[in-house]
Amino acid sequence: MNVEELKKQLESGELVGEDLSDTVLDGVDFTSCKLRRVSFKGASLSRCRFRKADIAWCDFRYAHIEAGTFEDAKVDFCDFYRALFEGIVIFNHSIFSNCSFTKCYFGDSAVIRKGNLKDGRVLQQDKEAYRKFLCDWHDFGTGERQNDLNRRSDWSPEAALKGRWLEAEELFKNFNALWTGKGFIADGNWAYVRGRRMERRRMLSDYANPKVSFTEKAVNTWKIITNYFSDIFFGFGESMFRMVMTYVVTVFIFAWAFTSNVSILEYGQALGVSLKNMAGMDSDILRDVSPLVDMLNVIQTTIGIILTGIFGFILGNKIRNQ
């Protein structure tokens, strides 16, 4: 199909099952069109408009998309593997769901945002959707997958499913670098947290991977523990709520410890002692106590100083990012 035939077909508002692989399209308007099973693999799309388009099961692998727009578009089950977005590419109010952005490149002015990802998720997080994407592409998509040399891709759906957490980790960390570099700090921080959680899922899945050595699994065990600890208590340094809750829980736990070991203290008094310890202040209530209680004082004061420092770091970041 040449460009003139394509433009005539687009007048119907629908394009289904067409092969536009390796074609050069300049200024083609797909506005408000319904696109199904269309292959743009390796195509050069310059100044093309997909505004308000309904796009599903289309192949954009290896495509070079420059100075176009996807504004208000709905994109579902599309493959953007190794696609290049360069120049000014507009994504305002577009929604991408169940799409693969593996090894995809976004240039300086082609910035997809967190709000463009439906429910803030990437395809690899949903095992069943990813399985459908991989296994049913022949039926719902553009047919048999071929690589950039037009040869049958040497890959296994099951192997891809096993490696999905690694792909998700790389995607979120790439989004973090992209958004932070463009000044979208809040989006970048959000992607950083997701990337760390995907890293944890990837390390957990490595226990079932025979290619990962015992030594590496042992090292990963410690990394998983610290990852969980940092996430639960501090939200990887991005959650004010978790930080405050950690501080409050620490105060109550040590207050309980004091009432259990110092019989003269009521719980209300113990809370006051515990709160003062968090700020490094001595309490007149505790005098001539046992070595255990004295040690609890020192431990809590140390923890309080550390938590106060982390709290200041998180608060400073929140103020700067807002």
Residues 144, 293 within the same domain: no
Q: pLDDT grade, residue 5 (50/70/90)?
A: confident
Structural domain contains residue 194 = no
Determine the pLDDT at residue 285.
64
Q: What is the pLDDT of residues 267-322, one digit of tens each?
A: 788 888 888 888 877 766 666 567 777 788 889 999 999 999 999 988 888 887 76
Residues 34, 157 within the same domain: yes
Side by side, which strands form the sheet with 54-56?
14-16, 34-36, 54-56, 74-76, 95-97
CATH number of 245's domain: 1.10.287
SS3 172: helix
Residues 100, 248 within the same domain: no
Residues 141, 42 within the same domain: yes
Residues 154, 260 within the same domain: no
Four-point Cα dihedral 78, 183, 188, 114, nearest 10: -40
CATH number of 142's domain: 2.160.20
As for how many domains the chain has, the answer is 2
Last residue of a domain, one of 128, 147, 162: 162
Q: Enter the pTM of the model.
A: 0.87
Last residue of a domain, one of 121, 137, 162: 162
Which residues span the domain enclosing 148?
1-162
